[in-house]
Copies of this chain bind each other. A is one copy, B any other.
Amino acid sequence: MTHEIAVIPGDGIGQEVIPAAVEVLEALDIDFEFVEADAGDAVLEETGEALPQETYDLAASADATLFGAAGDSAADVILPLREAVGSFVNIRPAKAYPGIDAVRPETDLVFLRENTEGVYAGLEDRLTQDVSTLTRVVTESASETLAEFACDYVSDADDHDGFTIVHKANVMRETDGLFRDTVKSVADDRGVDTDEVLMDAFATRVCLEPEQFDVVACPNLAGDVLSDLAAGLVGGLGLLPSANVGPERALFEPVHGTAPDIAGEGIANPAATIISAAMLLEYLGYEDESERVNEAVEVTLEEGPRTADLGGDASTEDVPEAIIERL
């Protein structure tokens, strides 16, 4: 069976790290068909559209999508692409790697971020010269879908003991109240343990005692901000992968951006994208291959070759080569 993979490098170092990840995928004994498409600032400049319709359609029909990064037009690219794959959850693991400098090396978290609504449902209006509004939407159905996913996620692996619901229901009583109550009731029905922490308290506590948390389910903006906070605790966005998962397809992307300061120099670290590709493998059912890639990445992070961000002088291309040798 052939798997069609949409490949969207985007801007900046997206053009360098995506080919490195594709190289690793190609080295496996799996029948992939890679189809490349454009998105981001460069194609916006050329065509007036940051996300051409062909690219949207490709992501909406491919079995999975690998996306790099986009510049200033990021929101116009990634938000519609998440919709194109029908993504209801953004999975964001944030863990420190051995040998990599981290503010809190004990951090080992997975955020399950609701990926369709909250302030991202963004119905905005400028009512008068003075007043603007945004309608934040929270539905029972989207909260249920996220909760079912979170329950499956912690049940599939042996190393999770329930999950933490993060919200701000003491202020957003109706909307985050609905989120919290719905997620909790699904988990209760499934016999999955949960606890809950207010969003602001979580921000304090994750700095002080990151080892207290494991899997976190939260609304869209909370997931955006708190996973980026966790990224800071593990040493930056450089090594973090992510998956935007829908019912039939999914999109995988490194959490980092286009890194304009080093773009074009061939020295970007492709590790986050290669780890994202490992998430893609797992999603498509290739669990062994996924594990092999993850292990090879970990060995390479520890033993090198290392790119400049990790204190080495390897090129982007050296990394997939070393990983493929270690597969």
Contacts and interface: CB of A to CB of B under 8 A. Distances in A.
A228 interface: yes
A170 B75 contact: yes
Interface in A186-238: 199-201, 203-208, 221, 224-226, 228-229, 231-233, 235-237
Interface in A222-273: 224-226, 228-229, 231-233, 235-237
Contacts of A237: 204
Q: Indicate the member of A75, A206, A208 with the most B CB atoms within 10 Å.
A: A208
Interface stretch (A24-32, A117-125, A290-298): A117-125
A134 B135 contact: yes
A204 B228 contact: yes
A133 B137 contact: yes
Interface stretch (A9-17, A138-146, A148-156): A138-146
Interface stretch (A60-68, A81-89, A173-181, A278-286): A173-181
A35 interface: no
Contacts of A37: none
Contact of A132 (B120, B139, B205): B139
Contacts of A104: 103
Q: Chain A interface: which size bin?
A: 35 or more
Contact of A136 (B133, B138, B229): B133
A10 to B, nearest CB: 15
A157 interface: no
Contacts of A205: 232
A129 interface: yes
B208 A229 contact: no
A130 interface: yes
A1 interface: no
B132 A175 contact: yes
